[in-house]
Structure 1
Amino acid sequence: MVAANTADDEIRGTAQDDAPVPLSVLDLVTVGSGRTATQALRTSVDIARLAERRGYHRHWVAEHHSMPGVASSSPAVILAHLAAHTERIRLGSGGVMLPNHAPLVIAEQFGTLEALAPGRIDLGLGRAPGTDGATAAALRRTEGLAEGADDFPQQLAELTRFLDDDFPQGHPYARIHAVPGPVQATSPGGVQSPARPPIWLLGSSGFSARLAGMLGLPFAFAHHFSARHTVPALELYRDSFRPSGVLDAPYALIGVAALASDDAGEARRQVMTGALSMLRLRTGRPGLIPTPEEAEAYRFSPMEREFVDGWLANVVHGTADEVRSGLDDLRKRTGADELMITSNAHGADARVRSYELIADAHGMPKPA
């Protein structure tokens, strides 16, 4: 097995109770009404560059499919593009949905990303489809979701062996190698790559929390859409944790929906666009992210209003100081080692400004 790499050492170094909580970015590459995927991808570059300048810890991209308002169906492609436009910030998947792909393909893709941006790549893995059942069937060429989810531990073990190039002798895949990867170091004239992408497990319930703990892997929880399960899942992760060659102690990151604005009313106006978009998605009407004007004009039924109010209760929004206070409270309540912020709004300017304001409120350094 490949020795613990610099990325794993970096995780160990930040998981300290007395250290400032690292802030990171979760990017859904959202596409607003009246805008194109090209514009959304350019905004992702802008946000990644801003995050790097201001000292955000990492920038992850999430895999979604068949959603007009989310242009992140190919995380590896987007990450390669972001790697070409940044120099230091960690980049990764939040996550790649493992059951949608052959483990060898993921190992090849992220081995390539590691070669493009050495020491900067994270491989976050989820077991959900990142879409509806029909689209998942089209991706997986199967009729249901259960098979991929049930096989997740086996798929994870296979992917890990491809990344480490350590299938035992006699295994059907023992002579198959993920390239770029460790096999190149054992070839004549080969040089060992200093690292391979660290694996994170993602989840919105207890399954991946327990598995991450048992394997001694870092864990990322989707608080932004499963808030009521956050504390129980993190407790399960910590209770299940076994030290490994990757981590000596648990390391938990949570995804948080947050948006800051210079004016609290404007922040509310912006987050309503994301709330309406989520309402439409949950009721089988996915579309582009609506404009603030469209969200203001929408007439919510009582049931829809109840859904939106519940959704907004878990979105930290307001002025920069209000958002900082909300994030600090969440950190204390969950004990998370890192907060990964997703700022979903219609326009690029609002999202970019939000990350800038949050950095200011947390005292993150400004470039000279």
Structure 2
Amino acid sequence: MADQHDTIRGTATGTAPVPLSVLDLATVGSGLTANGALRTSVELARSAERLGFHRFWVAEHHSMPGVASSSPAVILAHLAAHTDRIRLGSGGVMLPNHAPLVIAEQFGTLEAMAPGRIDLGLGRAPGTDGATAAALRRSDRLNEGADEFPQQLAELTHFLDDDFPDGHPYRRIHAVPGPIQATVPGGVQSPSRPPIWLLGSSGFSARLAGMLGLPFAFAHHFSAANTVPALDLYRESFRPSAVLDEPYALIGVSALATEDEKEARRQVLTGALSMVRLRTGRPGLIPSPEEAEAYEFSALEREFVDSWLTNVVHGTADAVRDGLDGLVKRTGADELMITATAHGREARLRSYELIAEAYGLPGTTG
């Protein structure tokens, strides 16, 4: 059985054990602006393409001042206009926040803009707090969206494939652009649509992705304790499909490389402080290294920071490469998607350059 989407499976290059990709949150540092964060996202995507990373995904978050990626489809359209080859996608769009037809239209449009380069990663969490989720969904029945995720996913898939069965109330509704647009004078082109990925940080999406034979992306960067159990469940549940013959698991990992180990610790502490504030109901801009160093952590906060940083791969390029290689061995992941949380653009850009150089990615060799 051949893969429906040849580009789901990445190809490792250089000395990397698996393909390497990038997850960007368009983070906004203190003293900086959303405009600058989105400009940096373009710069990062262009750099990732040049260096030889496989994918560049953006994530949906809401009501978080330090994260400017509330509208993945809009950002992806902008990135598509500034890149040529790298795969672009959502990591992910939170399906319960949107009508399936709207997502099908948005990503059908992206596919028409950048044929063969778009991934549609879907999550079932709101990507925000409960009050904001209620505002997004115009309902306070927050569990309803998550509980109905399989039904919503099936509906979205039918819209993308334009194949609702006869008698279905949506049979005569078409997501445009979509496969219906593939007919051209003199023949019919092969229908093209973005491959669907399921995202998760627990077992629900892992099992569902396996049962449907879809690629699975796990959020190791904020749910590390669940990574191996979720991937095991995905592989145990996997059934071959028209999409994949075998399981394909990607994991998101937080990693930051610098020339100096102490500087790496200084930089990643900003992300840790940002998470402390988020987890205690005080979301804000990403603090500067100076702010993070001056902050007086309580004993409980310090315990959280130490635990959090255990799962952030950081240090020199060689140390980060060793950490990422070890993660692949422990999890059996088929692809790593690296996210670098730091205050400013320079540290993030340099980190991806150093990691690419450590692995000898194509854009770093003569």
With structure 1 as the length reference, what TM-score do the two structures score? 0.96
Q: Secondary structure at the match of 1:10?
A: coil
Deviation per CA, 1:295-317: give whole Å up to 9, x if none.
Answer: 00000000000011110000000
Partners of 2:344 and 2:205 in 1: how far apart?
33
Deviation per CA, 1:236-287: give whole Å up to 9, x if none.
Answer: 0000000000000000000000000010100000000000001000000000
Correspondence list, 1:111-122, <5 A: 111-122=108-119
1:206 aligns with 2:228: no
Q: Which residue of structure 1 aligns with residue 252 of structure 2?
A: 255
1:237 aligns with 2:234: yes
1:331 aligns with 2:324: no
The structure 1 segments of at least 4 consecutive aligned residues displaced by more than 6 Å after TM superposition are 187-190
- How far off its partner does 1:193 sit? 5.4
1:340 aligns with 2:337: yes
Q: Which residue of structure 1 aligns with residue 134 of structure 2?
A: 137
Amino acid at match of 2:45: A
- How far off its partner does 1:202 sit? 0.1
Q: Secondary structure at the match of 1:242?
A: coil
Deviation per CA, 1:192-234: give whole Å up to 9, x if none.
Answer: 3552100000000000000000000000000000000000000
Alignment RMSD (CA, Å): 1.8
1:215 aligns with 2:218: no
1:357 aligns with 2:354: yes
1:196 aligns with 2:212: no
- How far off its partner does 1:100 sit? 0.1
Alignment coverage as a number of residue pairs: 363
Partners of 1:153 and 1:326 in 2: how far apart?
35
Q: Secondary structure at the match of 2:254?
A: strand
Q: Which residue of structure 1 aligns with residue 303 of structure 2?
A: 306
Partners of 2:339 and 2:184 in 1: how far apart?
43
1:45 aligns with 2:42: yes
Q: Which 5+ residue runs of structure 2 have no aligned equivalent?
A: none
Alignment check: 8 A CA contact 2:23 2:252 kept: yes
Alignment check: 8 A CA contact 1:221 1:230 kept: yes
1:97 aligns with 2:90: no
Correspondence list, 1:161-172, <5 A: 161-172=158-169
Partners of 2:78 and 2:134 in 1: how far apart?
28
Task: Give the counterpart of 2:154 among 149, 154, 157.
Answer: 157
Partners of 2:43 and 2:343 in 1: how far apart?
15
Partners of 1:193 and 1:46 in 2: how far apart?
33
Are residues 51 and 123 of structure 1, via their aligned partners in 2, closer, same or farther at CA, if it must alter by over 3 Å?
same
With structure 2 as the length reference, what TM-score do the two structures score? 0.96
Partners of 2:269 and 2:101 in 1: how far apart?
41
Partners of 1:13 and 1:57 in 2: how far apart?
7
